[in-house]
């Protein structure tokens, strides 16, 4: 492992890669502060720029954007009670009351230090867990992978939005359908191309991400007359006050951070769960374990109440890299986008990644830590200035998002058809968003579609067409049983609400 | 059963899944693959049935979280114009070239979204695109096709 860490440090500490982490964190913070524009959009917009980099640098940039976006989301949660990303909703419960008491700077400092500590601890967990899990996952067979992908897709649908399980499952199916367009990987038979040559190679991943996130988000903002930049304008005018944390507050944080980081990391590792659930769980757990006196302060500016979700959401970000790096199966929409980008680079994440491309595997882990340091040193004192940059009207922001989206497709294919297809998908996605059809399940399904078909094919061929492979191995049966439980639970809940 | 837009979307998805399933059955596979446990049409067929299942459930089951959208407050005109500009942008980018079409796309978008600060609009279109082109083409070595700049001798 020492050798791996050194490889990672050598790659991550090059001037170019440090610069990429800084740019990523900075850009991510800006996007994260805009309510509605989350880390997935930020990462999607970065894809065209990463074409010119090697895979390690490209992924380091995207990881920086991810952390920056989560940190930016916390800032608008604390200062305005307007979470930029869902993972920072719990931050506003105690962060915003603290800011209202004139302790905005202190709240931001607590959030930044908790994020830093949570990220650091989870990077250490990842450091130890990922190689071991990679070795374990070498024993995974096609049926296990197939079952795991079904679990991942069901879980992301279940957790994507409350009470919208069936809608999310429809989006999963739509994502898989889109992934099935083009040549079959084994027989080269074309499917669903309707004799259109442009569809023979299938629909590009970048196109689907740009259309369903960047472009449709821009169109939704215009359609709903939202102004995401108004929040940033207010942030730039807010008086922050002191950012010093006193001894008593530090003592409280020392207790909260370790337990919240463990929860955050473990939830992050689970497919589909992610930062939102991690932060809520950590907040709930913290409220249960603190003294009665401290419990009274929850919701009114508690240090523990702010520190717990902030630690957990950053730890979950690192945790979500575990299934992607070790199994090649992303645990969240954001890591699905990263997986798609990696596949675009010709790198196949999975159990063998740390043997075949150790520089990518280890440099991502090491760059996470560097990212945390940069967020702490650069972003905390610079928040009011970053917000000032954001005080551009949406009249400029929206065309720039559309421009980045079209450029991403243009430099990839030089093909008009792809641009029209992207606009078409974006219009449909915008309409679906209006009625709360979630997009992350679609992206995850689109990324996993090819892998899922391949593993189902192998499993069925090995079992001579019998579906017994689903319960032949204990591991497969356990994964599948968990999936069935999730489906049954959600169908039951839907019925129960009506009755 | 209450009919709302979500149910109509689900019904449309049901019809789409039925069409997808029909098309999946029409996929031509090799003769020797016809009776194989898995061929090119197997997975799409399962997907078609899954689509029918989930959208069918959504249509039939009660909808406790009905989403109501106030269409009067939606900005259809500007959104439509933006989509139209993007389509024109897509249609001309290959023939005219990246620099000119992108700059004009940005300028037109700012204008139709209500911006009237001409200098800022200009700065955030032509020079901005030039700088971005330099970043992609000049620094990151990403090829950008541009017949217009080529014709006036700016790009090689």
Q: By C-alpha distance, which of A366, A333, A344, A331 is closest to A55?
A: A344
Q: How confident is the model at residue A481 (pLDDT cuts 50, 70, 90)?
A: very high
**A462 or A52, which is more confident:** A462
Q: What does the pLDDT read at residue A386?
A: 65
**B110 or A314, which is more confident:** B110
Q: Are B96 and B110 in contact (CB under 8 A)?
A: no
Across chain B, mean pLDDT equals: 89
Backbone phi, psi, residue A182, to 5°: 110, -165
Domain map of chain B by residue range? Answer: 5-60, 73-151
* Domain housing A83: 2-498
pLDDT digits (tens, 9 = 90+) for A34-45: 766 677 778 887
Q: What does the pLDDT read at residue A237?
A: 55
Question: Are A402 and B86 within 8 A, CB to CB?
Answer: yes
Interface contacts (A, B; CB < 8 Å): 190
Q: Average pLDDT for residues A96-125, to the nearest whole number?
A: 85
- List chain A residues with CB under 8 Å of B55: 170
pLDDT digits (tens, 9 = 90+) for A140-155: 888 988 988 888 888 8
pLDDT digits (tens, 9 = 90+) for A18-30: 888 888 888 888 7
Q: What does the pLDDT read at residue A194?
A: 92
Across chain A, mean pLDDT equals: 82
Residue of B nearest to A400 (CA): B106
CA distance A239 to A197: 58
Nearest by CB to residue B142, choosing from A52, A224, A423, is: A52
Provide the number of structural domains found in chain A. 1
pLDDT digits (tens, 9 = 90+) for B53-87: 999 999 998 877 777 888 888 899 999 999 999 99
Q: Which residues pair with A191 in a beta bridge?
A: A182
Q: CB neighbours (10 Å) of residue A107?
A: 30
Q: Does B70 touch chain A (CB under 8 A)?
A: no
CA distance A151 to A438: 18
Q: How confident is the model at residue B47 (pLDDT cuts 50, 70, 90)?
A: very high
Q: What does the pLDDT read at residue A428?
A: 96
Residue of A nearest to B68 (CA): A435
**A412 or A389, which is more confident:** A412
Question: Are A495 and B58 within 8 A, CB to CB?
Answer: no
CA distance A321 to A368: 10
Q: How confident is the model at residue A384 (pLDDT cuts 50, 70, 90)?
A: low
**A47 or A181, which is more confident:** A181
Task: State the pTM of this model.
Answer: 0.82
Q: How far is A130 from chain B (nearest CA, A)?
A: 32
Backbone phi, psi, residue A35, to 5°: -60, 130
CA distance A463 to A461: 5
Question: Are A170 and B78 within 8 A, CB to CB?
Answer: no
Question: Are A395 and B89 within 8 A, CB to CB?
Answer: no
Q: How far is B155 from chain A (nearest CA, A)?
A: 16
- List chain A residues with CB under 8 Å of B115: 393, 395-396
Mutate to test the interface with B, among A395, A467, A493 (most CBs of B within 10 A): A395
The DSSP code sequence of A177-237 is: HHHT-EE-TTT--EES-TT-GGGTT---HHHHHIIIIIIHHHHHHHHTT--THHHHHHHHH
pLDDT digits (tens, 9 = 90+) for A284-314: 888 888 888 888 888 888 999 999 999 998 8
**A231 or A279, which is more confident:** A279
Q: What does the pLDDT read at residue A9?
A: 80
pLDDT digits (tens, 9 = 90+) for A463-476: 988 889 888 889 89
CA distance A264 to A88: 13
Q: Average pLDDT for residues A337-350, to the nearest whole number?
A: 78
Task: Detail the DSSP E strand segments found in A115-189.
Answer: 182-183
Q: How far is B44 from chain A (nearest CA, A)?
A: 7
Tokens 């506003």 appear where? A92
CA distance A141 to A474: 12
Tokens 């006050």 appear where? A241
Q: How confident is the model at residue A486 (pLDDT cuts 50, 70, 90)?
A: confident
Nearest by CB to residue A170, choosing from B39, B54, B110, is: B54
pLDDT digits (tens, 9 = 90+) for A421-441: 999 999 999 999 999 898 888
């Amino acid at each position: 492992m020492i050798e791996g860490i050194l490889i990672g440090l050598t790659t991550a500490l090059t001037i170019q890669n440090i610069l990429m982490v800084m740019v990523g964190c900075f850009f991510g913070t800006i996007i994260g502060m805009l309510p509605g524009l989350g880390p997935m959009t930020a990462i999607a917009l970065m894809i065209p720029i990463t074409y010119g980099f090697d895979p390690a640098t490209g992924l380091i940039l995207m990881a920086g954007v991810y952390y920056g976006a989560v940190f930016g989301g916390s800032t608008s949660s604390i200062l305005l009670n307007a979470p930029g990303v869902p993972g920072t909703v719990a931050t506003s419960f105690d962060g915003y009351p603290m800011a209202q008491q004139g302790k905005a700077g202190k709240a931001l400092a607590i959030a930044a230090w908790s994020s830093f500590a949570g990220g650091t601890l989870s990077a250490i967990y990842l450091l130890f867990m990922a190689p071991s899990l990679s070795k374990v996952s070498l024993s995974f067979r096609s049926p296990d992978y197939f079952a795991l992908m079904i679990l991942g897709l069901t879980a992301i649908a279940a957790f994507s939005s409350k009470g919208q399980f069936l809608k999310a499952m429809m989006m999963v199916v739509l994502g898989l359908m889109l992934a099935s367009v083009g040549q079959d990987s084994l027989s080269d038979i074309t499917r669903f191309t309707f004799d259109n040559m442009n569809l023979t190679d299938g629909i590009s991943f970048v196109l689907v991400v740009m259309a369903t996130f960047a472009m449709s988000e821009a169109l939704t903002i215009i359609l709903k007359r939202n102004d995401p930049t108004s929040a940033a304008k207010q942030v730039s005018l807010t008086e922050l006050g002191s950012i010093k944390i006193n001894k008593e507050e530090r003592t409280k944080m020392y207790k909260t951070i370790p337990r919240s980081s463990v929860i955050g990391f473990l939830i992050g590792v689970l497919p589909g769960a992610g930062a939102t659930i991690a932060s809520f769980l950590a907040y709930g757990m913290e409220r249960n374990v603190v003294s009665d006196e401290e419990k009274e302060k929850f919701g009114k500016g508690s240090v523990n109440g702010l520190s717990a979700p902030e630690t957990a959401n950053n730890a979950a970000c690192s945790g979500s890299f575990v299934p992607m790096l070790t199994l090649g199966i992303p645990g969240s929409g954001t890591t699905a986008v990263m997986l798609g980008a990696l596949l675009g680079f010709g790198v196949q994440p999975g159990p063998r990644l740390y043997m075949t491309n150790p520089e990518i595997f280890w440099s991502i882990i090491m760059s996470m830590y560097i990212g945390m340091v940069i967020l702490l040193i650069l972003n905390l004192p610079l928040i009011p200035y970053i917000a000032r940059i954001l005080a551009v009207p949406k009249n400029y922001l929206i065309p720039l998002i559309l421009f980045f989206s079209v450029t991403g497709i243009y430099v990839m294919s030089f093909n008009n058809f792809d641009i029209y297809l992207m606009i078409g998908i974006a219009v449909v996605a915008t309409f679906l968003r209006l009625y709360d059809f979630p997009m992350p399940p679609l992206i995850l399904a689109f990324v996993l579609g090819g892998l899922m078909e391949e593993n189902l094919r192998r499993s069925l061929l090995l079992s001579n067409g019998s579906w017994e492979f689903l319960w032949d191995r204990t591991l497969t049966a356990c994964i599948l049983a968990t999936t069935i439980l999730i489906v049954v639970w959600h169908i039951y809940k839907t019925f129960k609400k009506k009755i | 059963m209450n009919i709302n837009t979500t149910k109509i979307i689900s019904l449309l998805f049901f019809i789409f899944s039925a069409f997808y399933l029909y098309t999946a059955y029409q996929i031509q596979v090799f003769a020797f693959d016809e009776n194989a446990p898995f061929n090119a049409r197997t997975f799409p067929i399962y997907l078609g049935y899954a689509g029918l299942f989930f959208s069918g459930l959504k249509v039939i089951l009660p909808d406790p979280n009905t989403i109501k959208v106030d269409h009067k407050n939606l900005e259809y005109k500007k959104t439509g114009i933006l989509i139209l500009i993007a389509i024109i942008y897509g249609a001309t980018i290959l023939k005219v070239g990246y620099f000119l079409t992108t700059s004009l796309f940005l300028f037109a978008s700012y204008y139709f979204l209500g911006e009237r600060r001409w200098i800022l609009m200009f700065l955030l279109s032509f020079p901005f695109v030039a700088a971005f082109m330099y970043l992609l083409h000049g620094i990151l070595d990403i090829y950008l096709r541009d017949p217009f700049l080529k014709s006036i001798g700016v790009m090689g």
